[in-house]
Amino acid sequence: MSVVELSDEENVAILAETFTDSLAALNDRDRQLAVLKRLYALLDSSSPQHFIYETVTGCEELQVIRVGDDLRIFCRLVMGIPEGDKHYNVLFAFYVDPHEYDRGTLQRLDAAARNQLEALGSLDELESVEQYLDEHNAFTGDDLDDRIDRMQG
C-alpha cells in the first residue's frame, strides 16, 4: 500500500485567458463541464498533486491533468505557498486541448508556467500571496462548483 501525502492548504486555481478561450473553443457543453468538474475535484482534494498526470516532454514546468480519454489541461500546480507559512496550493490552468496540441504552443505555455512559478515563489508573506490571488481572480472549489451548477441549470 502506498502512502498519500495530504495537504491542509487551501486549493485555488488561476484560470489564464488562454484557458478560458480554449475551454470555450471546445464548443461542447458536456466536455466543458467535464473539464470544470475535473478542476473542481482537484480543488476539493486534500492531495491535489495526485491529479497531475505528467510533466510535458521537452518542457520544464508545464504539467498535464487528464480529463477522460482525450482532453488535457495544461497547467502548473504550486504546492505550499508562501514557503515559510504554507497556506495555499495554487493551480495555474493555461490551456485545455483535445490532445491535438502543437510544440510551439507548449513551449509558450511552459514559459508562462515558469514565469508564474517565479512570481508566486517570490512572495514570502501570506498577505502578499492573498493580494496576488485576488489580483488574478483565483477560484476556489466553491467558485467552480457554482459555475458548474449554473452551466447545468
Residue-level pLDDT at 56: 85
Question: Would you state the cell numbers that stand for residue 88, as one nine-digit string?
Answer: 495555499
The strand order across the sheet containing 54-55 reads: 10-15, 88-97, 71-81, 63-67, 54-55
Residue 7, SS3 per DSSP: coil
Q: State residue 5's pLDDT score.
A: 58
* Cα 43 to Cα 25: distance, rounded to the nearest angstrom: 23
C-alpha cell at 34: 467535464
Q: Which three cell numbers stand for residue 44?
A: 476539493
Q: Provide the pLDDT for residue 95.
A: 94
Give me the half-sphere count of Cα atoms (radius 13 Å) on the Cβ side of residue 41. 13
| Predicted pLDDT of residue 104 | 83
pLDDT of residue 6: 58
Which element (helix H / strand E) includes 141?
helix 141-152
Q: What was the pLDDT predicted at 98?
A: 85
Can you tell me which residue has the cell 508564474?
A: 116
Which ranges of the chain have pLDDT less than 70?
A: 1-7
Nearest to 72 by CA among 45, 49, 48, 106: 106
Q: pTM of the predicted model, to two decimals?
A: 0.90
